[in-house]
């Protein structure tokens, strides 16, 4: 229950985070930094708590990645508007995530199947989070560019991996399958 609440909190924090980021202009306030830390930190804590408390659930396997997509997509749009975030990276993120969500909804409805997050998908989330932090805080531009390229590469590779997984027939007893 608590891990799912943290996932919902992460998605809900997007509004206040974007408001604070916009209000900051090109600077960064303690409020923006705290909201960003809370939102990105909740992603680490919810999965750990779910495993530690034995509260992994099908709902959690849907909420956690969905909250990541809401946070990172919303943040990318805000940073694009107010902080010169790369247009190509925001576009790539939004297209990949829209495809994953749409495919996930189809698989859930038609087959009762939830695609589990991949290692590359988790890595892309971490690198995208760090990249967003680099655009919120005053990181040097060369570091920002390296992070953006790494995030873009991980988005493409993980997107291909998710597409391959979605096209495979379901295996009985596989993680994310009904009844598990």
Mind listing the pLDDT tens digit for each residue in 40-94? 999 889 888 988 998 888 888 889 999 999 999 999 999 999 999 999 999 999 9
Question: 70 lies in a domain?
Answer: yes
Q: Which residue has the tokens 């290692």?
A: 119
Determine the structural domain holding residue 112 and report its residue range: 2-167
Question: 173 lies in a domain?
Answer: no
Question: 174 lies in a domain?
Answer: no
Question: 95 lies in a domain?
Answer: yes
Question: 172 lies in a domain?
Answer: no
Tens digits of residue pLDDT in 27-44: 899 999 999 999 999 988
Question: 97 lies in a domain?
Answer: yes
Tens digits of residue pLDDT in 147-170: 999 999 999 999 999 889 888 876
Q: Show contacts of 147-151: CB within 8 Å, 24+ apart.
A: 148/86, 148/89, 151/89, 151/93, 151/124, 151/127
Count of domains for the chain = 1
Q: Which residue has the tokens 């705290």?
A: 34
pLDDT for 177 beyond 60: no
Within 10 A of 180 (CB to CB), how many other CB atoms are there? 12
Q: How many helices (H) and strands (E) does the chain have?
A: 7, 0
How large is the angle between the packed helices 58-82 and 14-24, nearest 10 degrees?
10
- This prediction has a pTM of 0.88
Question: 178 lies in a domain?
Answer: no
- pLDDT for 73: 96
Residue 114 sits in a domain whose CATH number is: 1.20.120.1760
Q: How far apart are CA 76 and CA 93, in angstroms?
A: 8
Question: 175 lies in a domain?
Answer: no
């Amino acid at each position: 229950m608590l891990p799912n609440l943290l996932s919902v909190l992460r998605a809900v924090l997007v509004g206040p985070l974007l408001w604070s980021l916009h209000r900051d202009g090109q600077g960064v306030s303690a409020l923006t930094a705290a909201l960003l830390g809370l939102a990105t930190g909740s992603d680490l804590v919810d999965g750990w708590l779910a495993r530690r408390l034995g509260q992994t659930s099908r709902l959690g396997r849907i909420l956690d990645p969905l909250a990541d997509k809401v946070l990172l997509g919303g943040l990318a749009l805000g940073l694009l508007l107010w902080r010169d975030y790369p247009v190509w990276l925001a576009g790539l993120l939004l297209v990949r995530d829209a495809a994953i969500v749409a495919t996930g909804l189809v698989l859930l409805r038609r087959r009762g199947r939830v695609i589990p997050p991949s290692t590359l998908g988790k890595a892309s989330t971490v690198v995208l989070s760090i990249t967003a932090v680099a655009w919120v805080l005053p990181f040097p531009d060369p570091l920002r560019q390296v992070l953006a390229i790494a995030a873009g590469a991980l988005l493409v590779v993980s997107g291909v991996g998710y597409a391959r997984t979605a096209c495979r027939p379901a295996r009985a007893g596989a993680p994310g399958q009904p009844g598990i």
